[in-house]
Every structure is written in structure tokens, then in C-alpha cells.
Amino acid sequence: MLNRIVLAPLTRQRSYGNVPQPHAAFYPETPGIWTKEHVEAWKPIVDGVHAKGGIFFCQIWHVGRVSNTGFQPNGQPPISCTDKGLTSDDIMTFSPPRRLATDEIPGIVDDFRTAARNAIDAGFDGVEIHGANGYLIDQFLKDQVNDRTDQYGGSLENRCRFALEIVEAVSNEVGPGRVGIRFSPFASYMGCGDSSPELLGLYLAQALNKYGIAYCHMVEPRMKLADQRFETLQSLVPMRKAFKGTFISAGGFSKEEGNRAVDEDHSDLVAFGRLFLANPDLPRRFELGAALNKYDRTTFYTLDPVVGYTDYPFLEEGKSLG
């Protein structure tokens, strides 16, 4: 890679309606990857990124209980590891989930495998399994949500089983060198927290070594909520030391903090989200010490395909830095 900077995965809601199956969605206008039509639609997009020299991984996710019946096929309840629902708020209304039966879980694992194959067929360089931020995999991982009594609940090993089965299935399908996974063990997004987040993160980091995947991507402990940063003595350093492959850190980094994380061997790569969205030439700006465009939070989750998405200027407007 040319630098240590990667673009963090950012929820996209500007597409025609990346999830493995229709029952995996909640947010409107999120892209899919479960049909051959999706594969064909992605190909020119992937080609465009490759033409600019980019490396492009497709993040595949399932929202689990973070949904409502209006977004589910035939108005069915959303599925989860539990039947405990999320509390609705002024922005989102959540429906009570249906607890997955034990014999249904292999089918969900297979949905991730199929999505990964479709992503590779579309030309993506790899896939990132979304195991963070309160969505389905995270719901299985966290003891504040997972109340199962079968082999997918209870002990730390059991709660991690679903995630690791997906890693294994996807790695077997497309090759481990094309697979990454993202976790947020310290976060409490969508009411999804854990009583021992460091133990959870450490177990996952160690368990992943068995599969030889491309990278492990974790969210910093200071980002316990989506848009707030907390001061904490906890860190990802134990997980970084435990994982034997490439380690990516994300969560509110500045240029200086990113440099320090790499210099002190706390991370191999640093993911930037909001700064990268507002600065399409972020690595170049960092290199030159140039001023950064300020991001506009009010446009983050709007449907316009240009405003707040592709209209932030380069250092030299209209010129590619590739």
C-alpha cells in the first residue's frame, strides 16, 4: 500500500434498495449483494475504483434486531440471537425481533458466504465482515444482548461461535487473504454492550489467528457511541499484540494520533471516516500539511447522491491526485 491510511466503512444510504439477504436490511437505500443483478450493477463501480488505483473491499453485514417489520420481507419480524427488542426513539422505530432457532443459524452463515462470493465475482479485492456496532454478529457477541442457552450463548466461546463460523465459511469460499472483519468490543451501539469488553476483544483477536485472514479491524474504546468520544485508559493494544496479522484501528483519529499509533506499533493501518468523506485526497493533504475541508454532519444520512458525498473539493478542484 502507498500509505497507512484506509477509508473506514461508512453506512451508505444513497443506493437503490451491502447486505447478504433482504432480511438483513433496515436502513432505506442501502445497497445489496445477494443477487446476480447486484453483482452486475457493482462491476462498473468496482472498475472505477480500480482505475484510480484503489483497493476495494466490500463490507457485508446483517442488522439483526436493528430493524422493523416495514423493512422485512412479507412484514416478518427481524431476526436476532434474542427476542429482546430495542427501544425505539424519535428517529427510528424498532420491531420486536424473533429469536433464531439453533438450526437456522447455519443458513445465516451461508448467506454471508454467498455474499462474499458475489462480492469477489463483482471484482472486489476482498470482503470485510461487519461484526461491530450493535448489528447481528455483535448481538451474538455481547452478553448484554445474547441470552441464549444453546451452543451460541452463555460462555465467551459460545457467544463468539457465530462470528468465527462466518469467518471460516467466508475464508473457505474466497480465500483468507481476501477476508477482514470489524469488531467494536468496547462499544455500546444499539444497546449492545458487554460486561468484559477487553476479554471479548482479546479472545476474538486470538481466535482469528487460526484462519490467517487479511486483517482484523477494531474500533477504539473511546468511541463507545457513534458520534461521541470518551476519555478512557482502555486501549486496543492487547488485541493488536494478540492478532498476528494486519491490524486496523478506527475511531476519531486525527493525523497526529494516527501517526503516533503507527509509530508506537499500536496499529498497522488507521481508518478515517468523517475526515476522509470530506477530504477525498486525505492522504495527500496529510502529506502536505494542507488545511482540511470541514465535514457537514447534516448531510451524512441524506439521499442526495452528490451533496455531502461526492462534492467535497480536492486541493486542486477538478484534478485527480492519482
Of 217, 232, 138, 141, the residue nearest 181 (C-alpha): 217
Question: Could you give the dihedral angle defined by the CA atoms of residues 190, 195, 197 and 199, in that order, rounded to the nearest 10 degrees?
Answer: -150
70-76's contacts with Cβ under 8 Å and 24+ in sequence apart are 71/25, 71/26, 71/28, 72/22, 72/23, 73/22, 73/23, 76/23
Long-range CB contacts (< 8 A, 24+ apart) of 105-111? 105/152, 105/162, 105/165, 106/165, 108/20, 108/62, 108/79, 108/136, 108/162, 109/162, 109/165, 109/166, 109/169, 110/169, 111/20, 111/21, 111/24, 111/34, 111/62
- Confirm whether 135 is a catalytic residue: yes
| Dihedral sign for Cα atoms in the order 18, 219, 133, 159 | positive
135 Cβ partners below 8 Å, 6+ apart? 61, 62, 63, 64, 66, 190
- Give the C-alpha separation, 134 to 42, whole Å: 27
The amino acid at residue 18 is N
Catalytic residue among 135, 152, 189, 312: 135
The label of the residue with cell 492522504 reads: 283
**Residues classed as catalytic:** 135
